[in-house]
Amino acid sequence: MAPTTRPGSPRPDTSDTGSPRHDARSASPAEPRRVQIFQVSTLYGAATVAAALDAGLFGAPGEARRLLLVSNNAEIPETAVRLETMTGYERIATRFDEVLDWNETIRPHHPGTWSPRPEEAPLWQRVLRTAWDLAAAPVELVVESIQVNPARALATVFAESPVHVYADGLMSYGPTRDELSHSIACRLRRVLHLDLVPGLVPLLLTEYGVGAELVPDDAFRAVLREIAAASEDSAENAALTAAVATAPTALLLGQYLAALGILTAEEEEDLHVRMVRGAARAGHRSIVFKPHPTAPASQTAALHEEADRAGVTLTVLDGPLLAETFYARCRPRLVVGCFSTAMITAAVYFGVPIARVGTGTVLARLTPYENSNRVPLTIVDHLVTDLESGTEPTVPDGAPASLAPLLRAVGYCMRPATHPGLRPEAVRYVAGHPGEPHFPSERLAELALPLPART
């Protein structure tokens, strides 16, 4: 697969060899220029990477050749919203020398399932070095979710490359989902993460001695402003402008939990109806609903019916826009969700009060216990006001002292073999919080942890 040139950059010179010629900035053949490959699958993740670059966390511009490797990990990629079509993507892409498409590279394999066999890895590295014009240059990998593909596949192919992991959500505060091979674990350098819960330190990859490094808030805010500015010239601007014109004071976030098998389609529809009802009861007369990009259009019919009954204006904003674009263009007074990272972003980066709906139900329904969604659910359940409780929504003020012990106990119960050193803390926490819903009796019994007293 041939590289895609950076938007607005000149076409590569292929007159002599048929492949892109290194420019004058390239290192000599004896000292090939270092290459950094940044793998992304979401615009939020790409924005995180862009902020890290802008903050100098990967060196100065020009020190390395930077490649943006885009992957579409949806179950059926052909029917999902492509990252390249998202508003603001073009501005993010200008930070890179070239853009590559992982799906095209490994077609017909699926990026979420394909990884080369160990004996095939050297051959695949030769293929990719040729296709991406890497020659013999040293390669650094910057990936999301190293425990799964495509990040794991890349780390297998480039078996000698250092690996930096970036976290684009709340899952970084929980344990590593799967055990990593020693050949990958020994090359991990750091976990880059946003300060979504100030005062809370990620547990991700700590079992391998990997430290965490913050992506500066100011750098991330600047990238979000850049994406919002791009929306003013986008095809979706009319829809966004129309939504803003209704003077909405609340934004509701859909997550399409039915796709994860956590709720049925009917239960998820009811969850969104409860969001509309709760926002209306809290006094919001104009509401915007931002569905998940993969949610079916039919899912919003019941919301309009509920809005009509409640006497409120409901606008559905279903274009390829980050929710953060809406925050920047129209500062709402409330953002409601179940456990979306976009809720926390609203509070931390825009100072918008947030509220949750249905979090406890989803938490109780989640299986298996080690499901990585348990961590964002636990954080939101602990930090965020329940919209249906009648309590005034607020902006959470960082991590309360009670959150870290809870998450460490949950982390142990999720991955006890990975974090045996957390057992004493988990024992103390569970004993001191009998009957807490985060710790089902079945799981406590499996791990020989204190069970709540019978009444």
3-state helix, strand, coil in the chain (%, to 5): 40, 15, 45
Rounded to whole angstroms, the Cα distance separating 287 from 246 reads: 8
Q: Which of 277, 271, 280 is nearest to 253 (CA)?
A: 271
- For residues 203 and 407, the answer to whether their CB atoms sit within 8 Å is yes
Rounded to whole angstroms, the Cα distance separating 164 from 170 reads: 18
- For residues 217 and 44, the answer to whether their CB atoms sit within 8 Å is no
Torsion of Cα atoms, 436 then 438 then 443 then 445, to 10°: -10
Task: Give the DSSP letter of residue 258.
Answer: G
Per-residue pLDDT of the chain (455 residues; tens, 9 = 90+): 444 444 333 333 433 333 333 343 444 455 678 999 999 999 999 999 999 999 999 999 999 999 999 998 877 777 677 888 888 999 999 999 999 999 999 999 999 999 999 899 999 999 999 999 999 999 999 999 999 999 999 999 999 999 999 997 999 999 999 999 999 999 999 999 999 999 999 999 999 999 999 999 999 999 999 998 888 876 667 778 888 888 999 999 998 888 788 899 899 999 999 999 999 999 999 999 998 766 666 668 899 999 999 999 999 988 788 888 889 888 899 999 999 999 999 999 999 999 999 999 999 999 999 999 999 999 999 999 999 999 999 999 999 999 999 999 999 999 999 999 999 999 999 999 998 999 999 999 999 999 876 65
- CATH fold, domain 236-389, is Rossmann fold (3.40.50)
Rounded to whole angstroms, the Cα distance separating 209 from 204 reads: 10
| Angle CA 180–184–188, to nearest 5 | 105
pLDDT at 431: 96
Strand order in the sheet with 385-386: 313-316, 286-290, 250-253, 334-337, 354-356, 385-386
C-alpha distances out from residue 271 to 264, 266, 363, Å = 10, 9, 14
- For residues 356 and 381, the answer to whether their CB atoms sit within 8 Å is yes
Domain-wise residue ranges, the chain: 4-8+31-219, 236-389, 403-446
Residues with Cβ within 8 Å of residue 220, at least 6 apart in sequence: 47, 48, 51, 194, 349
Rounded to whole angstroms, the Cα distance separating 280 from 274 reads: 10
Half-sphere exposure of 130 (CA within 13 A, CB side): 8
Q: Which of 394, 396, 390 is nearest to 278 (CA)?
A: 390
pLDDT at 320: 81
- CATH fold, domain 4-8+31-219, is Rossmann fold (3.40.50)
Q: What is the Rg, in whole angstroms, of the alpha carbon atoms belonging to the chain?
A: 23
Q: Do domains 4-8+31-219 and 236-389 have the same CATH topology?
A: yes
